[in-house]
Structure 1
Amino acid sequence: MRSGAEKARTSPADDGRPIGQPTGSRATPARRHDPEQTRRDILDVATQEFARLGLAGARVDAIAARTLTTKRMIYYYFESKEKLYEAVLEKVYGGIRDVERQMGLTEQEPVPAMRALVETTFDYHDRHPDFIRLVTMENLHAGQHLKRSPTFRGKNVAIIRMIDAILQRGSAAGVFREGLDAIDLHMLISSFCFHRIANRHTFGTVAGRDPLSPRHRMHQRAMLVETVMRYVCVDAAGRTDR
């Protein structure tokens, strides 16, 4: 005999009506005809809920209420709260990877490509604090949910390959130092971008400065670019002027 969850997953399409709502009432016609939009809506709201409350604190009922759908619909798409959380993690990591891929950095000269990568990474972290919160929370879970993803590693290894390709081209052109490690460089760039968001409140209390204030943002962005270019470039002039 099938469980309730199995029935939800295999039942005829749920049109998004709250349980008990009559068939004839007006019930989000867009959802009835666009299941992919419903799925995106659920993921968007779930991202906010998990980022705010974590896996344990977020409630499927609240996500359903905010998306004007039902728990049954959410379980139909994602099977469980844990799998919804895993889908959210894949979504937020996929967001930054999509931006990097669309930049076409492998087609640019190595120095401007490296600058663009650093600036874009900084900007993405700055504009997506939910991404930072979710990564922090998943580290508290020892990364166990990301380990279950069949696609996560393949998608995220792309940025390492991209950085390595830029480094190799720069080394061959004589503008980048030889023997630089793409994973080390990725960690160097990400660590500063991540720290200023994740530790905003504690660092602000200690230092008396909000790292996210507009008056500091552009200075920090330029500082990170210069730091990376000084690390990868062969000579002082090349580090800042190429």
Structure 2
Amino acid sequence: MAPAPPKEPGAPKRTRNSARTKAAILASGREEFAARGFEGARVDAIADRAGANKRLLYHYFGNKEELYRAVLLDAYQEIRRGERALSLDQYDPAQAMDRLVRFTFRHFLANPWFPRLLGTENIENARFLKTMPDIKALHSPLVGQIAAIIERGNSAGIFRRDVDPVQLYISIAALGFFYVSNTATLSVIFERDLTSMAMVQEREAHAVQMVLDYLKTREG
């Protein structure tokens, strides 16, 4: 039997890294949807930015609507992973709340696309979020974790008991979300550069103090 012919040099077999391609499409999708909204986003632009052809995009995600849902889910999973990594149960209640407020503020600050993406979904009246069963399961542990911090703080005599963990988290998120999503207009109105490090640090400290002051036990 004749030996097989040698392989031609310089022609390595190409392999497709599906995980890397999907991640690139997701990252590209979050940029496009955050910048142009759902209606204005173009699949061609997403594929081009990701360095993938449109056929691969449809292969992995099905259509524009499913890609948008995947981008939303990935965005929420990312912030939840960050919150879990804080290991808040290892800290005393005041420190745990301090860490949560700072993390939330910094997450919005470091990812300005996130407030824009959430703004897009609110313009859509959360019509895509309503069809995503995984979302509730993602948020439930966070609410439980905040409730546990409040309970520990109350047992230690430093936090009020009458605090709704959902309302508290909405307030924590709002303190960072509004600042980041309105930096440009607020900087003009108040004639301050809210993007400067000094202003950002001042705002973060202000957010922490507001939350901790709200949680303090009431005397008299």
Query: Of residues 32, 38, 55 in structure 1, which corresponds to 2:38?
Result: 55
Deviations 1:116-151 (A, max 9, x none): 111111111110100010001100000111111120
Following superposition of structure 1 onto structure 2, how do residues 135-146 of structure 1 map, counting pairs within 5 Å?
Answer: 135-146=118-129
In the aligned structure 1, how far is the partner of 2:155 from the partner of 2:96? 15
Q: Which residue of 1 aligns with 2:63?
A: 80
The letter of the residue matching 1:119 is R
Q: Which residue of 2 aligns with 1:151?
A: 134
The letter of the residue matching 2:57 is I
Deviations 1:144-181 (A, max 9, x none): 11111120111022221111111011111211111111
Counterpart check, 1:219 vs 2:202: yes
Instruction: Give SS of 2:149's match.
Output: helix
The count of residues paired between Structure 1 and Structure 2 equals 210
Following superposition of structure 1 onto structure 2, how do residues 10-159 of structure 1 map, counting pairs within 5 Å?
Answer: 29=14, 32-159=15-142
Any conservation in 2 of the 1:170–1:176 contact (CA below 8 Å)?
A: yes
Q: Which residue of 2 aligns with 1:173?
A: 156
Query: Of residues 179, 182, 204 in structure 1, which corresponds to 2:187?
Result: 204
Q: Which residue of 1 aligns with 2:6?
A: none
In the aligned structure 2, how far is the partner of 1:36 from the partner of 1:49? 20
Q: How well do the aligned residues superpose, as a CA RMSD in angstroms?
A: 2.0
Give how far 1:213 is off.
Answer: 2.3
In the aligned structure 1, how far is the partner of 2:13 from the partner of 2:40? 28
In the aligned structure 2, how far is the partner of 1:132 from the partner of 1:202? 15
**TM-score normalised by L of structure 2:** 0.89
Unaligned runs of 5+ in 2: 1-9
Any conservation in 2 of the 1:196–1:212 contact (CA below 8 Å)?
A: no
In the aligned structure 1, how far is the partner of 2:11 from the partner of 2:185? 48
Instruction: Give SS of 1:219's match.
Output: helix
**TM-score normalised by L of structure 1:** 0.81
Instruction: Give SS of 2:128's match.
Output: helix
In the aligned structure 1, how far is the partner of 2:98 from the partner of 2:132? 31
In the aligned structure 2, how far is the partner of 1:188 from the partner of 1:229? 12
The letter of the residue matching 1:158 is P
Give how far 1:26 is off.
Answer: 8.1
User: Percent of pairs identical after alignment?
Assistant: 34
Q: Which residue of 2 aligns with 1:162?
A: 145
The letter of the residue matching 2:132 is S
Counterpart check, 1:189 vs 2:172: yes
Instruction: Give SS of 2:166's match.
Output: helix
106-115 or 227-236, larger mean C-alpha shift: 227-236
In the aligned structure 1, how far is the partner of 2:95 from the partner of 2:89? 11
In the aligned structure 1, how far is the partner of 2:46 from the partner of 2:184? 27
Give how far 1:235 is off.
Answer: 6.7
The letter of the residue matching 2:60 is Y
Q: 1:105 to 1:63 in 2, by over 3 A?
A: same
In the aligned structure 2, how far is the partner of 1:28 from the partner of 1:208? 59
Q: Which has the higher contact order (CA 8 A, sep 6+)?
A: 2
Unaligned runs of 5+ in 1: 1-24, 237-242
Give how far 1:216 is off.
Answer: 0.4
